[in-house]
Structure 1
Amino acid sequence: MNNMKFINVSLLFFLSLNVSSLFHPTSARGGLSTSNFSGSVDNHYVASARRLFEEKKLTMEQHLQRLEKLAEGYMSNADLEKAIKAFNRRCSSISRIYSIGKSVLGVPLWVIEISDKPGKDEPEPSFKFIGNVHGDEPVGRELLLHLANWLCDNYMKHPLATLIVDNIHLHILPSMNPDGYQLKRRGNANNVDLNRDFPDQFFHMNDDPGNRQPETIAIMSWLEKIHFTASATLHGGALVANYPWDGTTDEKKYYYACPDDKTFRFMASLYSNSHHNMSLSKEFPGGITNGAMWYPIYGGMQDWNYIHAGCFELTLEISDDKWPSASEIPVVWEFNKLSMLNLVASVIKTGIHGRVFSSDYGRPLQASISIKGINYTIKAGQAFADYHRLLTPGEKYEVIATMPGYKSKSTSIILGEEASTVDFILDPVVTFREDVLPRGCDCSFENRRLKLVEFFPGQQSEIFLLLVIILLFLCFLMKRRVILNYLRQKQMVGPKQSLVV
């Protein structure tokens, strides 16, 4: 009997903890997990437990009422869709909209693309913003509509807006989790945290494609179609720019750097220093943090982007309050506006950019680009063989271009504050095999000239040889012209250009 009372007291204590947790905010990237408890109890404790459940129910109702009140002034999912379509009609010359899939409840995941040539392939970098990953963090979806409208209103008027629209393909997904927003909770309609649903590098979780959420599948398919240079997700509950790695091999909390740690710190600092007060944080020095140093998470979207999609992603906590009053949104937008613009512009204003050609006829090559000393490789685009490699300014780098069937080439550059353009021309590997030629074949020039003379008697053989030489020279000029014509075009921002031949 004493053991039974101990169990019942434990049950009440556990339930009281669950009730009290409703009044404490969870951490921005994480969340609290709950356990189920089962057991037999006597009538006295059943009555006590029932009263506690009734109190919990009342508290939940009060909690939902509070969220409903806070949601006043925010766009509903239907309002958001109308706003996206209205934006596209108003700014059709520099935008298009498309859906990457649907949520569990069938809500389209609408994306706005902003560019001077929306929907067309160009040798330009692409950047994506994603908001509302967690349903109870809605500020991002509001700010992303503010960003789209600001770019539309200021194109050809403000230099930063013009730079972004003319040189970058910006893709904006205001809400990744419309179901969670509608339900006023963190997870999606299946109550799954979408920022824990991606394949993880350290642990065999989320490896089964059949168990992934439709929102996660939509993001992964999206990145198979579009090669994004960089991206950012907008969260709430803190004020800090978070960068990889998000997890550690042993689930312990400490600084765990990825190969491009310097570049990520540069990107995070760029956002923080452009913000109204993020860099003044007392909790996070400089307003930035390594994810694993803050607290490890697994199955996150940030690390997956970097590992599997070649995309440098930041997780931006843009508001201490997850769900501030709608009247505060204009202030939050003003605090983050310059940070968002500078982060997008950084993919064209810094780093190295270029294209890779073959020396035979100047055709583009989908080569791999690596940096000596950094264990990370990106691939040039398929259509134009363009690459965009983010790097920390003010350092010396050895850039290497490799392609199967071609000779690798490298060059050293000192990257300044502005972007540098480095184009490569790779030579095909030519191999000669003895068994291709018949045994005893005399391949000397004299013998071939004799046969030509026999076929073209007199001066005709000399004319034929001259024509061959002329044709070869013309082919050489044509392939060089293809490359040089590209180099004459001003494709990238920044005065520095080099060609590796």
Structure 2
Amino acid sequence: MKKVILFFLICQVIVFSSIGQQQHHSPEQLGKAYSYLEKKGEVYFSFNKPEKLQFEKILQVISVDNVTAEKVFAYANEWEFESFLSEDIPFEVLNHPGDVDFELNMLSDINVKDINEWDFYPTYEAYESMMAQFETNFPDKCKIYNIKTLASGRKLLFAKVTSNINQPAAKTRFMYTSTMHGDETTGYILMLRLIDYFLNNYGTDPKVTYILDNMELWICPAENPDGTYAGGNNSVNGSTRYNANGTDLNRNYPNPVQGTNPSGPHEPETVAMMNFTDTMGFVMSANFHGGAECVNYPWDSWTSSEKLHADHLWWQMVSHEYADTVHLHSPSSYMSEFDNGITHGGDWYVIYGSRQDFNGYYRNIRELTIEISNTKLIPASQLPAHWNYNYRSLINYIYRATIGLKGTVTDAETGEPVKAKVFINNYDNEEDNSYVFSREDFGNYYRPLKAGTYSVTFSAEGYGPQTFTDVVIQNNQATELNVQLQAGFFANFSADITRIPEGGTVNFINESYGEPTQFAWTFEGGTPATSNLENPSSIQYNQAWT
């Protein structure tokens, strides 16, 4: 009987503890939240910004969408919301951005040749059809790739757009993707229109022609089709931020701070993108979002006071170029947040698992996050205006990938391409992988840089490194530097000190190339006088040396 009473008391403690955690939560707001969770699998809400330590904890639990001086806006699935409730913070449930009460002009039968205004959203089947039509109508400039068919049957589609598409060439590779948050749909339509724009303006627009003659564009308009069409294939109304498994894809990538799985197992969309970018050698990229209007540059994982990207000043220049060009063609209120439309990601709010930081840190790609509409699901009639605000900036940002340092790295004896590391001395940072590599198939490399004079080292396994000093980069121009690396063994070393006092000792470090297996050191004036070790240490010199 005592055991029964004890069990009853424990149950009472648990129940009242749970009630106590939610004692400040409005029953009305809780009801709204659970209704959304049941219907959509996610809830959108706001709360007053808490103090720093509690906010940092919350950032690890829910999907924060926007942060102002006083308010936080966020999404949560059921598990995330229960974790948030334990923090006992009052909140307000907001209308879900993916649910609208206006006509969206959904079209199911679209002939891309007949589109004039682009003031519509396609059904999912119409989207697939549009992508297929681009390839059919322009077989020499467009090819569609499916990098993943999801369990729903929906596909992650890329349009490859370039001139002479069937002829492999050493071109700069560039990537745009949109709508990894399924309810942020403005970029979805803008990317479809951008594909169409490049295909139809090749040969008449000089900049478009130059880009397609020198670059490969890879454009994925819908990176989270399950979220965009969560309400069914016939409408984007009912869209969700998360994918079909209730995961925020922009918190799902490996991260330099939290490691491989910051938000649990990688989702199919995440794995597909990781595998795709691993082989492509993209120079630059951007992904498009909504809910704000700004250009967000690296890093997301650190504030600028904690860690600056090696290209921080370049990023500021490129971001301002995007926003400043937008300002010439938009209302004064558009893209005016933060520093005249741009922000360092972590200074806005720190997140882990973003695709921007994954591509920058693990893939050596320069990637931006571009927020292009305060309202996530805008009326279709507003889509043409947003295109007009942004399309010049979209093209300018692509063109940026051709500016800076470029060239080809080859084997000095065979002329074959070499995959080499391109490191800007006293500029690049080994810790954040800001260097780039030449491509294995053609040996071509591209390193976007601000104007200046640089020292550059090229290195590859099995080859001796080469360093070039006084490499001049001019504004808005490309400097070409072709490099031939010599294969074989190259003896090289360093020492922990170079000014040796009388009786001092020196440690030597082998830095030879070609993976030697035997070593023969001679130390003039040193004791011992010889060594067969790879890294001989404590070599004593009785006389001072400099």
* TM-score, scaled to structure 2: 0.68
- Give the conservation status (yes or no) of the 8 Å contact 1:279–1:286: no
- The letter of the residue matching 1:189 is A
> Who is 1:422 aligned against?
481
Distance verdict in 2 for CA 1:207–1:65, change over 3 Å: closer
1:385 aligns with 2:443: yes
- Find 1:356's aligned residue among 379, 385, 409: 409
Of 298, 304, 311, which residue of structure 1 is paired with 2:358?
304
Question: Could you say which residue in structure 2 is the equivalent of 1:458?
Answer: none
Q: Report the 3-state secondary structure (helix = DSSP H, G, I; strand = E; otherwise coil) of the residue aligned with 2:401.
A: helix
Structure showing the higher helix proportion among its residues: 1
Tell me the matched-pair count. Answer: 410
How large is the Cα RMSD of the aligned pairs?
Answer: 3.4
- Equivalences for residues 84-483 of structure 1 within 5 A: 84-118=131-165, 120-183=167-230, 184-204=239-259, 206=261, 211-248=265-302, 256-275=307-326, 276-277=329-330, 281-348=335-402, 350-373=403-426, 374-375=428-429, 376-392=434-450, 394-411=451-468, 412-417=470-475, 418-430=477-489
Q: Which residue of 1 aligns with 2:114?
A: none
**CA gap 1:161/1:322 in 2 versus in 1, 3 angstroms:** same
Change (3 A) 1:63 1:152: closer
> Aligned equivalents of 2:461 and 2:311: distance in 1?
25
* Cα shift at 1:31: 2.8
Give 1:11 deviation, angstroms: 5.4
Task: Provide closer, same or farther for how the CA distance between residues 35 and 141 of structure 1 changes in structure 2, counting only shifts above 3 A.
Answer: closer
> Cα deviations across residues 183-206 of structure 1 (Å, max 9, x unaligned)?
211000011000000011101351
Matched with 1:13 is 25
| 3-state secondary structure, aligned to 1:126 | strand
1:479: which partner in 2? none
Change (3 A) 1:89 1:67: farther
Structure richer in strand, relative to its length: 2
Give 3-state SS (helix, strand or coil) of 2:65's partner: coil
How many Å apart are 1:102 and its aligned residue? Answer: 2.1
Q: Which stretches in structure 1 are left out of the alignment for 5+ residues? A: 40-55, 436-501
For residues 6 and 346 of structure 1, do their structure 2 counterparts lie closer, same or farther at Cα, with a shift above 3 Å needed? closer
Q: For residues 325-358 of structure 1, what are the alpha-carbon distances to aligned partners after superposition, in whole Å with 9 as ceiling and x for unaligned? A: 000000000100000001111111x111101122
The structure-2 alpha-carbon separation of the partners of 1:270 and 1:4, relative to structure 1 and needing over 3 Å to count, comes to same
The answer to whether the 8 A contact 2:294-2:337 is kept is no
Matched-pair contact (CA < 8 Å) for 1:354–1:422 = yes
Q: 1:384 to 1:74 in 2, by over 3 A?
A: same
Aligned to 2:75: 32
Alpha-carbon separation, structure 2, partners of 1:9 and 1:237 = 31
Q: 1:12 to 1:163 in 2, by over 3 A?
A: same
In the superposition, relative to structure 1, how do residues 67 and 121 fare at CA in structure 2: closer, same or farther (>3 Å)?
farther
Residue 498 of structure 1 corresponds to none
1:156 aligned counterpart, secondary structure: coil
Compared with structure 1, are the counterparts of its residues 427 and 10 closer, same or farther at alpha carbon in structure 2 (3 Å cutoff)? closer
CA 1:354–1:253 in 2, change beyond 3 Å: closer, same or farther? Answer: closer
Q: Separation in 1 of the partners of 2:98 and 2:373?
A: 21
Partner of 1:81: 128
**Shift of residue 211 of structure 1?**
2.0
Conserved? CA contact 1:134–1:235, under 8 Å: yes
Confirm or deny: 8 A CA contact 1:121 1:383 kept in the other structure.
Answer: no
- SS at the partner of 1:396? strand
The change in CA–CA distance for 1:6 and 1:351 in structure 2 (over 3 A counts) is closer
How many angstroms apart in 2 are the aligned matches of 1:385 and 1:130? 26
Once the 2 structures are TM-superposed, how far is the Cα of residue 7 of structure 1 from its aligned partner? 3.5
User: Counterpart of 1:407 in structure 2: which amino acid?
Assistant: G
Shift of residue 380, structure 1, vs aligned partner: 0.8
Larger radius of gyration: 1
| CA displacement, residues 420-469 of structure 1 (integer Å, 9 cap, x when unaligned) | 10111222345799x9xxxxxxxxxxxxxxxxxxxxxxxxxxxxxxxxxx
CA–CA separation in structure 1 for the residues paired with 2:81 and 2:18: 18
For 1:310 and 1:63, locate their aligned partners in 2 and report how far apart those are by CA, in whole Å. Answer: 34
Going from structure 1 to structure 2, the CA distance change for 1:203 and 1:162 (only over 3 Å counts) comes to: same
**TM-superposed deviation, 1:118:** 2.3
Distance 1:65 1:245, change over 3 A: closer
Secondary structure in structure 2 of the residue aligned to 1:384: coil
Hey, what's the Cα distance between the residues in 2 that align with 1:107 and 1:168?
28
Asked whether the equivalents of residues 95 and 115 of structure 1 are also in contact (C-alpha less than 8 Å), the reply is: yes
**What letter matches 1:258 in structure 2?**
H
Structure 1 position 316, deviation (Å): 0.3
Q: Which amino acid aligns with 1:385?
A: G
